[in-house]
Amino acid sequence: MALIGFARVSSVQQDLTLQLDKLEKAGCEKIFSGKHSGKEEANKQKLEELLNYVREGDVVVVTKLDRLGRSLKQVLTVLDRLKEKNVGFKALEQPIDTTKDNDPISIAMIQLLGLFAEMERNFIVSRTTEGRLNKGVKGGRKPLSPEIRAKIAKETRKGDSASVIAKRYGVTPRTVYRVRAESKGITQIRENQNHLFK
């Protein structure tokens, strides 16, 4: 059995050093690394090299689950390919270790953490986009507080229209739609958790 590391950052400004140090300390004998820097293909190539290199019984190690890919779909695809090759997977900073005889908790954590990672990326993209739209406006638009988000989600569930809610809270209808979608995603995750741990 060999521990094979994979490290990835998503922008030019980020540094791989911390991830590489942690993977070396974990005992990885070989480490593949990719840097997004605007070129998704380069990152995919490094990941493909890793997948072609690993053999049955090996364990792929990352610092966090989202280092394995830029989207939930990509992460789950990679995990499926590792499983097909009988290759284990560990995330050092999260309770994920598929080498523990198909531990159902690890499997559930992979799915849930993947969903949370995807949601967080969507939040970042959304905030960045809103920031660009508000560029040049003095002070820009203030981010919504958790309390306001909860009120908007509640009112959309009651059936109030997005335009009415948007006027009520001084936001765009698009923001209302996004809050509603995020609320539905969190509700679905909670339902899945309840189902898994009954």
Same domain, 15 and 64: yes
Last residue of a domain, one of 51, 85, 103: 103
pLDDT value of residue 102: 64
pLDDT value of residue 12: 54
Same domain, 92 and 65: yes
Average pLDDT score over residue span 19-27: 94
- 101 pLDDT band, cuts 50/70/90, is low
Does residue 13 carry a pLDDT above 70?
no
Report the domain count for the chain.
2
Same domain, 136 and 164: yes
Same domain, 13 and 98: yes
Last residue of a domain, one of 77, 103, 129: 103
Same domain, 20 and 63: yes
Global pTM reads: 0.54
pLDDT value of residue 49: 93
Residue 9 bridge partners (DSSP):
35
Angle value at C-alpha 59, between 94 and 82, nearest 5 degrees: 95
pLDDT in tens, 37-64: 545 676 788 889 999 999 999 999 999 8
From the number of C-beta atoms within 10 Å of its C-beta (0-12, 13-18, 19+), residue 16 rates as middle
pLDDT value of residue 135: 59
Residues spanned by the domain of 142: 112-196
pLDDT in tens, 131-165: 666 655 444 456 788 888 888 888 888 888 888 88
Distance CA 133, CA 137 (A): 9
Does residue 98 carry a pLDDT above 70?
yes
pLDDT in tens, 170-181: 888 888 888 888
pLDDT mean across residues, the chain = 78
Q: Which positions are annotated as active-site residues?
A: 10
- 186 pLDDT band, cuts 50/70/90, is low
Q: Which of the two residues, 81 and 96, has the higher pLDDT score? A: 81
pLDDT value of residue 169: 87
Same domain, 99 and 128: no
